[in-house]
Structure 1
Amino acid sequence: MRPKHIIFDVNETLLDLKPLARRINASLSSDLAFDIWFSALLHYSLVEAVTGHHEDFSKIAKATFEMTAAKFKKVIPDEEIKSILGMIKKLQPHADVLESLTKLKEEGFTLVALTNGNSTVAKEQMATAELEHLFNNIYSVDEAKAFKPHPKPYQYVLNKMKAKPEETLLVAAHGWDIIGAQRAGMQTAFIARDGKFKYPLAENPNYDCKNLIALVEYLT
Structure 2
Amino acid sequence: MRPKLIIFDVNETLLDLKPLARRINASLSSDLAFDIWFSTLLHYSLVEAVTGHHEDFSKIAKATFEMTAAKFKKVIPEEEIKSILGMIKKLQPHTDVLEALTKLREKGFTLVALTNGNSTVAREQIVNAELEHLFDNVYSVDEAQAFKPHPKPYQYVLGKMNTKPEETLLVAAHGWDITGAQRAGIQTAFIAREGKFKYPLAENPNYDCKNLLALVKCLT
> Which TM-score band applies after superposition, normalised by the shorter structure?
over 0.9
Match of 1:177 in 2: 177
The answer to whether structure 1 residue 13 and structure 2 residue 30 are counterparts is no
1:62 is displaced (CA, Å) by 0.1
**Secondary structure at the counterpart of residue 189 of structure 1:** strand
Where structure 1 has 5 or more consecutive residues not aligned to the other structure, the ranges are none
Aligned-partner Cα distance in 2 for 1:127–1:177: 23
**Secondary structure at the counterpart of residue 94 of structure 1:** coil
- Matched AA of 1:148: K
Aligned residues: 220
User: Structure 2 matches for 1:39-50, cutoff 5 A?
Assistant: 39-50=39-50
Deviations 1:8-59 (A, max 9, x none): 0000000000000000000000000000000000000000000000000000
Deviations 1:159-212 (A, max 9, x none): 000000001000000000000000000000000000000000100000000000
Match of 1:165 in 2: 165
1:124 is displaced (CA, Å) by 0.3
Could you state the TM-score of these two structures normalised by the residue count of structure 1? 1.00
**Secondary structure at the counterpart of residue 36 of structure 1:** helix
**Secondary structure at the counterpart of residue 146 of structure 2:** coil
Match of 1:83 in 2: 83
- Matched AA of 2:179: I
Match of 1:93 in 2: 93
- Matched AA of 1:163: T
Match of 2:211 in 1: 211
- Matched AA of 2:131: L
Could you state the TM-score of these two structures normalised by the residue count of structure 2? 1.00
RMSD: 0.2
Aligned-partner Cα distance in 1 for 2:185–2:202: 13
Q: Which runs of 4+ in 1 moved over 6 A?
A: none
Where structure 2 has 5 or more consecutive residues not aligned to the other structure, the ranges are none
Match of 1:109 in 2: 109
Aligned-partner Cα distance in 1 for 2:178–2:92: 23
Aligned-partner Cα distance in 1 for 2:77–2:132: 33
Aligned-partner Cα distance in 2 for 1:3–1:154: 15
1:78 is displaced (CA, Å) by 0.6
